Amino acid sequence: MSRRLPSSAALRVVPAPGQVLGFPTADAASGLLVEGAADISMEDLYKRFAPYVAAIATRILGRESEVEDVVQDVFIAALGGLKKRDQLLQAKSWFATVTVRSSMRKLRTRALWSLFDLAEPPQYERLSDPAAGPEERRMVAEVYRALDGVSAKERVAWVLRHVQGESLEDTALLCECSLATAKRRIAAAHAVVKQRLEAGGAHGH
Amino acid sequence: MDIERRLREGPLRVEPLWDAEQTARLPQRVLAARRRRALVRAVAAVSALAAAIAVWTLAPQASVTPSAPALASASAGPANLRAFALADGSRVSLLSGSSRVEVVEQTSVLVRTRLGAGAARFDVIRDAQRVFEVESGEVKVSVLGTAFSVVRVGALPRVAVERGAVRVQWTGGEAFLSAGQSGSYPPLAEPTPVAPVAPVEPLADVAGSPAEESRSWRKLAKRGAYAAAYEAIGAASKDVRDEPSDLMLAADVARLSRHPSEATRYLSRVADGFPRDKRAPLAAFTLGRVLLEDLGQAARAADAFRLAQQLAPKGPLASDALAREAEAAQRAGQRERARKAAARYLELYPSGPQAERLRKL
């Protein structure tokens, strides 16, 4: 019999080092569903993984309007792609990978629209955890503005590492690149973020 | 704002922009979006089909597979040509109105088709891990990556190879054909009256002029009358020209008329004397088979299989040659060599058709 998760309102995710995001159950660390996973219905999958997918998409994209699209795309893919039992048993990593891919596509579309000045203006003020202090909230908004200036690949790698809290190895895995490439992308994005924050800090003083 | 110091404390804290209401709404949104996408795809597919039909109707010549093989002459004309692609990307072109090809099996390691009637051209995508087979009557044609045609006229399928090499198997025998070669299988043991068997011609003219052809061993060989062809060669051996096509045909004649030692002479000449010829790897491979199976000279056979690999390391016979080298070396008592060859095969083709057998070697 499958265990029920608490409602998604209780699933507010505040990542900490080593914590698995959006899946606060005993089996979260292994990434496996509970026993009898093959019997899990799509409804269960929505309840269990929609918040998880949304959390990753939010961190990568930073814009509410795009998150819902990505969640929808991921579950459309799940309807067609999550059929085999072995995939179901590793549903968590499957959702993470597909979410990263889908978010990456969204970022590229956004970049395309921005060429014609049709992209939505960024609204990053709501992003921070309400528990965060004002300085951190400003920092998060500024970080996301800086990330708008880097490539989609570099942005995704940096977010997975420094916002999602993934290890370097998992970041490389989710970005579907080598460890060295992941490090290089993170470093490239980090330089831009750092420069922007330092410039903002100097301006503020 | 010191980002370095902040990140040392842990990841940035970002609030997921998502709530329970959105989760509850999601299934309906997903289903609606799925239906929309299915509709869009259906409209696109219908449009593409309509466009294809329009192109086919208005410009039939443009739809014909380019460079249709010579065997297409057996068909009712270009307007009847039809083609389809298999899941692995290989293409099958039906060369006559009566052609019938059935896909019997299609997996990552085996594609098996059956030519029930008529003629078809198979353009096979090269994949060392997958075997592509065409069955026609009692004959089975196996390939790794090549283009060839099979015509079924009466009981005897005729195979013509454009590119690469194929193995033709029938009950009690097999033959290897390389680019430019063709033949009807199973071969007839003795000359038969010329039946209206071939409204088709081989892709490459392996014979001389028509006048010479009419009285030469080549005509007998092409009819499958290998014993008579061998006799003809014996009477005038100078008729075998020192060039790969003729040597290969003479080798077939000697081999299939049960004169394996003579066959090795021709095959060695092609493999050693024309190493850059596209038929050289096939000659070396066939030499290995004759030495191993007909003459029991396993050590020499292993060398021939090694040569086949060296002549075309990425050729369609390379994996089979490596497996056969292991087998021949084992039979010759060269255990270390057999072990190394088997290990190399398993390294290069871990799920190849011979992998299971070689693991036990």
Q: Identify any residues that bridge with B304 across adjacent strands, giving them in sequence order.
A: none
Looking at mean pLDDT, say which of B110-124, B313-327, B329-343 comes out highest. Answer: B329-343
Residue A58 confidence (pLDDT): 92
Contact B13 A68 (CB under 8 A): no
* pLDDT value for A182: 94
- Rounded to 5 degrees, φ, ψ at B84 are -145, 160
pLDDT band at B1 (very low <50, low <70, confident <90, very high): low
What is the pairing mode between strands B110-123 and B131-136? Answer: parallel
Taking contacts as CB-CB distances below 8 angstroms, the residues of chain B near A43 are 27
Q: Does B4 touch chain A (CB under 8 A)?
A: yes
Kindly list the residues from chain B whose CB atom is less than 8 angstroms away from the CB atom of residue A199: none
Suggest the residue from A13, A43, A98 to mutate for an interface test with chain B (most B CBs closer than 10 A): A13
Residue to substitute from B5, B18, B34, interface A, most A β-carbons within 10 A: B18
Distance between CA B32 and CA A79 in Å, rounded?
13
Nearest Cα to Cα of residue A143 among A60, A21, A52: A60
Q: What is the pLDDT of residues B91-120, one digit of tens each?
A: 888 877 777 888 888 877 778 888 887 788
Total residues belonging to chain B: 361
Distance CA A52, CA A45 (A): 11
Q: Are B139 and B157 in contact (CB under 8 A)?
A: yes
Residue that the structure tokens 């095959």 belong to: B267
Q: Given an 8 Å threshold on Cβ–Cβ distance, is A71 in contact with B15?
A: no
Assign B223 to helix, strand or coil: coil
Nearest to B18 among A54, A72, A75 (CB): A54
Q: Grade residue A113 by pLDDT with cuts at 50, 70 and 90.
A: confident
Q: Is the peptide bond before B353 cis (omega within 30 degrees of 0)?
A: no
Judge whether A52 and A95 are in contact, CB under 8 Å: yes
Residue B310 burial (C-beta neighbours within 10 Å; 0-12, 13-18, 19+): middle
Indicate whether A135 pLDDT > 70. Answer: yes
Q: What percent of chain B has pLDDT over 70?
A: 81
The shortest CB-CB distance from A140 to any of B10, B12, B19 is to: B12
Whether B35 contacts chain A with CB within 8 A:
no
Q: Using alpha carbons only, how large is chain A's radius of gyration in Å?
A: 17
User: Inter-chain contact B12–A13, Cβ cutoff 8 Å?
Assistant: no
Which residue among B3, B11, B30 places its CB closest to the CB of A75?
B30
Model pLDDT for residues A166-199, shown as the tens digit of each residue: 999 999 999 989 999 999 999 999 999 999 888 8
pLDDT at A5 over 50: no
Question: What's the pLDDT score for residue A111?
Answer: 83
Paired sense of beta strands B110-123 and B100-106, if any: antiparallel
H-type helices in A19-151, by residue range?
42-61, 64-81, 85-89, 91-115, 134-147
Pair of tokens at residue B298: 């396993």
Cβ distance of B22 and A164 shorter than 8 Å: no
pLDDT tens-digit profile of B37-93?
A: 888 888 888 888 888 777 766 554 433 333 333 333 333 344 444 778 888 888 888
Chain B nearest CA to A99, separation (Å) = 14
Cβ of B16 within 8 Å of Cβ of A12? The answer is yes
Per CB-CB distance under 8 Å, the chain A contacts of B29 are 68, 72
CA distances in angstroms from B351 to B85, B111, B130, B357, B359, listed in the order given:
24, 15, 9, 11, 11
Distance in Å, alpha carbon of A55 to nearest chain B alpha carbon: 5
CB B118 within 8 A of CB B82: no
Q: Is the pTM of this model over 0.80?
A: no
Cα dihedral A123/A125/A130/A132 (nearest 10): 130
- Classified as helix, coil or strand, A40 is coil
Write down the pLDDT at residue B237: 63
For residue B90, the 8-state DSSP code is -
Residue B201 reports pLDDT greater than 70: no
What's the mean pLDDT when you consider all of chain B? 76
Contact B20 A42 (CB under 8 A): no
Of B2, B14, B26, the CB nearest to A163: B14
Smallest Cβ distance to A164: which of B7, B11, B23?
A: B11
Q: Give the minimum alpha-carbon distance from A190 to chain B in angstroms, rounded to a whole number.
A: 9
Is 80 exceeded by the pLDDT of residue A201? no
Tell me which range, A34-38, A78-82, A86-90, B314-318, is most confidently predicted by mean pLDDT: B314-318
Cβ contact, residue pair A15, B13, below 8 Å: yes
Rounded CA-CA distance B228/B231 in Å is 5
User: How many angstroms separate the CA of residue A114 from the nearest CA in chain B?
Assistant: 23
Mutate to test the interface with A, among B1, B6, B8 (most CBs of A within 10 A): B1
pLDDT of residue B59: 52
